[in-house]
């Protein structure tokens, strides 16, 4: 019997980096402002803080997201507007900013987005990572009617989509930061 792709640990561990001609502190002040993520995110359109001091560890952000019909078209994804709750889990000014996505029922998941900053002589390297330690309830819902080959195809297609999104996000952040 073959082990399902959904049993992989981590299921996703993706990332990219870009050099930005700015200080780590300047970049951090921008990427740690969740309200600004709509300026560069492929899905986040808007949002609001639900609890805690905005951007502080433990604060919770409600994101309003939009996914178009042309994203992994063959899979039963949420299309149009959908919402996520994110909890800030690390704030290290000039170094790292991380948040964890909650499930639909409100529990924190092993699904973490990170920005890590590495200062250099002529600017800063900004890395963004996405890590899903185990298949989330959302992934299980999407793949519940798929056979194993389709589950593997979905994970492969989603990896391509997420990798592209991360690279595009970093490129957009670079433009935003270097214009500021």
Query: What integer pLDDT is reported at residue 106 of this predicted model?
Result: 83
Task: Decide if 101 contacts 109 (C-beta within 8 A).
Answer: yes
CATH code at 76?
A: 3.30.530.20
Residues 6+ apart with CB under 8 A from 70: none
Query: What integer pLDDT is reported at residue 1 of this predicted model?
Result: 62
Query: What integer pLDDT is reported at residue 74 of this predicted model?
Result: 92
pLDDT in tens, 14-39: 999 999 999 999 999 999 999 999 99
How many domains does the structure of the chain reveal?
Answer: 1
Asked which of 97-111, 123-137, 147-161 is least confident by mean pLDDT, the reply is 97-111
Q: Which domain holds residue 26?
A: 5-179
With bands split at pLDDT 50, 70 and 90, how would you rate the model's confidence at 161?
very high
- The number of angstroms, rounded, from the C-alpha of 133 to the middle of its chain's C-alpha atoms is 13
Query: What integer pLDDT is reported at residue 6 of this predicted model?
Result: 97
List, as one string, the DSSP characters of 121-139.
TTEEEEEEEEEESS--HHH
Tokens of 110: 């092993």
Sign of CA dihedral 103, 62, 46, 133: negative
Query: In whole angstroms, what is the distance from residue 59 CA to residue 71 CA?
Result: 30
- Average pLDDT value for the chain: 95
pLDDT score of 180 more than 90 = no
Query: What integer pLDDT is reported at residue 105 of this predicted model?
Result: 84
Mean predicted confidence (pLDDT) in 71-99? 94
Percent of the chain with pLDDT strictly greater than 90: 91
What predicted TM-score, i.e. pTM, was given to this entire model? 0.93
Query: What integer pLDDT is reported at residue 78 of this predicted model?
Result: 87
Q: Which of residues 106 and 144 earns the better pLDDT score?
A: 144
pLDDT score of 5 more than 90 = yes
Query: What integer pLDDT is reported at residue 2 of this predicted model?
Result: 76
pLDDT score of 120 more than 90 = yes
């Amino acid at each position: 019997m073959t082990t399902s792709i959904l049993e992989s640990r981590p299921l996703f561990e993706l990332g990219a980096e870009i050099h930005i001609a700015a200080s780590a502190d300047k970049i951090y002040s921008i990427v740690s402002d969740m309200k600004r993520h709509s300026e560069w995110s492929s899905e986040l359109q808007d949002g609001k803080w639900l609890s805690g001091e905005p951007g502080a560890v433990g604060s919770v952000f409600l994101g309003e997201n939009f996914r178009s019909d042309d994203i992994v078209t063959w899979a039963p994804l949420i299309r149009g507007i959908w919402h996520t709750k994110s909890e800030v889990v690390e704030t290290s000014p000039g170094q790292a900013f991380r948040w964890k996505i909650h499930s639909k029922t409100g529990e924190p998941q092993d699904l973490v987005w990170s920005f890590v900053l590495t200062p250099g002589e002529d600017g800063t390297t900004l890395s963004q990572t996405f890590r899903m330690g185990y298949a989330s309830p959302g992934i299980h819902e999407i793949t519940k009617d798929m056979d194993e080959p389709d589950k593997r195809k979905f994970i492969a297609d989603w990896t391509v989509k997420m990798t592209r999104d991360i690279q595009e996000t970093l490129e957009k952040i670079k433009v935003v930061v270097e214009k500021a």
